[in-house]
Chains A and B, each alone.
Chain A
Amino acid sequence: MGLKRIVTRVFGDDSFVTTKLDAAIGWSRKYSLFMYPFVTACCGMEYMSVSSSHYDLDRFGAAFPRFSPRQADVLIVVGTISHKIAPVLTRVYEQMTEPKWVIAFGVCTCTGGFYDNYATVQGIDTLIPVDIYIPGCPPRPETVIQGIMMLQEKIQKQRQEY
Chain B
Amino acid sequence: MGRATEILRARFADCFLDAHEQHGDETVVLRPEGIATVAAFLRSDAELQFNVLMDVTAVDYPGRTPRFEVVYHFYSLPRRARLRVKLPVPEEQPEVDSLTPLWKSANWYEREVWDMFGIRFRGHPNLKRILMYEGFEGHPLRKDYPIKKRQPLIGPMN
Interface residues of A (CB under 8 A from B): 83-84, 86-87, 117-119, 121-122
Contact = CB atoms under 8 A, between A and B. Distances in A.
A12 B138 CA distance: 72
Contacts of B136: 83
B140 A119 contact: yes
A87 B132 contact: no
B149 A84 contact: no
Nearest to B145: A118
Interface of B: 131-133, 136, 140, 145, 149-151, 153, 155-156
B155 A118 contact: no
Nearest to A86: B153
15 contacts: A83-B133, A83-B151, A83-B153, A84-B132, A87-B153, A87-B156, A117-B140, A118-B132, A118-B145, A118-B149, A118-B150, A119-B131, A119-B132, A119-B140, A121-B153
A87 B134 CA distance: 12
Nearest to A127: B153
A1 to B, nearest CB: 46
Nearest to B156: A87
Given A83-B151, A119-B132, 5 more contacts: A83-B136, A86-B153, A87-B153, A87-B156, A119-B131
Contacts of A118: 132, 140, 145, 149-151
Nearest to B129: A84
A77 to B, nearest CB: 16
Contact of B156 (A84, A117, A121, A122): A84
Contacts of A121: 153
Contacts of A87: 153, 155-156
A122 B150 CA distance: 10
A84 B131 contact: yes
A121 B150 CA distance: 9
Which residue of A84, A121, A122 has the most chain B CB atoms within 10 A of its CB atom?
A84
Contacts of B131: 84, 119
